[in-house]
Amino acid sequence: VRWTDAVARTETEAAAMVAQGEADAAAGLEAAARPFGLTFLAVEDEAFDLAVDRRAWFDPPLQRLFAFARTPAFAAKAGALGGYDIGGLGAVRWNGP
pLDDT tens per residue across span 6-54: 899 999 999 999 999 999 999 999 999 999 999 999 999 888 888 999 8
Q: What is the pLDDT of residues 18-29, one digit of tens each?
A: 999 999 999 999
Quick one: 54 and 94 in the same domain? yes
Quick one: 34 and 11 in the same domain? yes
Residue 13: partners with Cβ closer than 8 Å, 6 or more residues away: none
Which own/partner contact pairs does 7-14 have at CB distance under 8 Å and 24+ positions apart?
A: none
Buried b (16+ CB within 10 A) or exposed e, 57-96: eeeeeeeeeeeeeeeeeeeeebeeeeeeeeeeeeeeeeee
Distance (Å, whole) CA 25 – CA 52: 37
Quick one: 38 and 25 in the same domain? yes
- Return the pLDDT at 88: 87
Structural domain range at position 30 = 1-44
- Return the pLDDT at 96: 81
- Return the pLDDT at 82: 86
Q: What is the pLDDT of residues 47-92, one digit of tens each?
A: 888 899 988 999 999 999 999 999 999 999 999 988 889 988 888 8
Quick one: 53 and 76 in the same domain? yes
Quick one: 62 and 96 in the same domain? yes
Whether pLDDT at 4 is above 80: no
Total domain count for the chain?
Answer: 2
Quick one: 18 and 36 in the same domain? yes
Residue 31: partners with Cβ closer than 8 Å, 6 or more residues away: 11, 81, 82, 83, 84
Quick one: 53 and 83 in the same domain? yes
